[in-house]
């Protein structure tokens, strides 16, 4: 029988050709943060568990989150030209006394909207919480009720998504889990660093004493009542196992840093 007070950490590998983790998007410009948001992770777990948008998510929002950047990727900007197929002027955000949208003045027949994505990025998400809840979420992620997405619906994750459960603190788990970058990135880094045993990766962890604040904790996903609150986070770097065989001809270090790399050794 499991200890009801025990905690566990669920590990997800978030990789896809495109990801988009917005938190301050306007109507015609959808930004993305450089790493996953808590609202995006909670939304993914809620979709896996089959929860409708009006369902309570307090238990999911209360989970602790840690994100490790395996491969930062690059920004992609996409744009769409909007027009009315009937040849009419586009509507503005202003409304009449009857609640009907007004036409743009002067008349505007086309408008460009922008979407931003992260391309070829990989992240490791560690979600810590009560063991029973984490196990339930594991089963949900393995057999999701609704399609899963990395931020936006068009951003389907590649496999493997689920890496398993781990014990320990968020920082311990994120420090000990092997590097999840693509084979090409790991090979290229290995050539430049003598296949060092560790690589320093940036990480962001939930921390009540953290010195930074994010406004991305969802209280409700209801379409007419989307609300969020803040969380405190801490930024750090973790020396992570690379899984590479060190080159004995190169100087060895304990933290993966090679002081002779700039000299071309």
Mean pLDDT split into 10-residue runs, the chain, 265 residues: 75 97 75 94 97 95 98 92 84 81 84 90 98 97 96 93 96 97 95 94 96 94 91 97 84 53 50
Question: Angle at Cα 122 formed by Cα 81 and Cα 16, nearest 5°?
Answer: 45
Q: How far is CA 96 from CA 91, 101, 154, in A?
A: 12, 6, 35
How many angstroms separate the CA atoms of 19 and 7, rounded?
Answer: 29
**Which residues share a beta bridge with 241?**
198
* Distance between CA atoms of residues 146 and 49, nearest Å: 8
Torsion on CA atoms 250, 256, 262, 265, rounded to nearest 10: 10
User: How high is the pLDDT of residue 26?
Assistant: 62
Rounded (to 5) percent helix, strand, coil in the chain: 20, 35, 45
| Contact predicate 120/73, CB 8 Å | yes
Task: Return all residues near 78 (Cβ < 8 A) that are at least 6 apart.
Answer: 114, 115, 116, 117
What are the pLDDT digits (tens) for 170-216? 999 999 999 999 999 999 999 999 999 999 999 999 999 999 999 99
Please state which of the four CATH numbers 3.40.50.620, 3.40.50.2300, 2.40.50.100, 3.30.70.2660 is assigned to the domain occupying 7-79+110-172+202-236: 3.30.70.2660
Beta pairing partners, 130: 7
> Rounded to an integer, what distance in angstroms lies between the CA atom of residue 11 and that of residue 127?
7
Question: Considering the entire predicted model, what is its pTM?
Answer: 0.83
Domain residue spans in the chain?
7-79+110-172+202-236, 178-197+242-265
pLDDT of residue 90: 84
Closest-CA residue to 190 (of 239, 262, 243, 249): 243
C-alpha dihedral sign at 190, 158, 18, 32: negative
Phi, psi of 262 (to 5 degrees): -70, -15
Give the residue from 167, 159, 156 showing the smallest Cα distance to 126: 167
The encoded tokens of residue 40 equal: 């995006």
* Dist CA 179 CA 252 (whole Å): 19
CA neighbor of 157 nearest in space, from 204, 115, 184, 121: 121
């Amino acid at each position: 029988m499991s200890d009801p007070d025990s905690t566990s950490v669920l590990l997800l590998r978030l990789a896809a050709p495109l990801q988009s983790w917005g938190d301050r998007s306007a109507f015609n410009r959808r930004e993305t943060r450089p790493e996953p948001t808590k609202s995006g992770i909670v939304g993914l777990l809620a979709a896996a568990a089959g929860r409708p948008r009006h369902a309570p998510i307090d238990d999911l929002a209360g989970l602790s989150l840690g994100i490790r950047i395996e491969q930062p990727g690059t920004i992609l900007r996409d744009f769409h030209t909007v027009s009315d197929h009937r040849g009419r002027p586009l509507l503005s955000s202003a409304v009449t006394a009857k609640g009907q949208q007004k036409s743009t003045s002067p008349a505007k027949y086309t408008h460009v909207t922008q979407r931003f994505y992260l391309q070829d990025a990989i992240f490791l998400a560690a979600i810590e919480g009560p063991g029973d809840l984490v196990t339930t979420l594991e089963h949900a992620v393995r057999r999701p009720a609704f399609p899963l997405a990395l931020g936006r619906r068009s951003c389907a994750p590649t496999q493997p998504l689920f890496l398993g459960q781990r014990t320990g603190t968020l920082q311990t788990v994120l420090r000990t889990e092997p590097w999840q970058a693509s084979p090409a990135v790991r090979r290229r880094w290995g050539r430049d660093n003598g296949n060092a045993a560790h690589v320093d990766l940036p990480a962001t962890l939930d921390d009540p004493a953290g010195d930074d604040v994010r406004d991305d904790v969802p209280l409700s996903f209801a379409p007419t009542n989307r609300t969020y609150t803040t969380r405190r986070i801490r930024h750090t770097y973790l020396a992570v196992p690379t899984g590479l065989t060190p080159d004995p001809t190169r100087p060895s270090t304990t933290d993966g840093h090679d002081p002779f790399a700039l000299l071309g050794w």
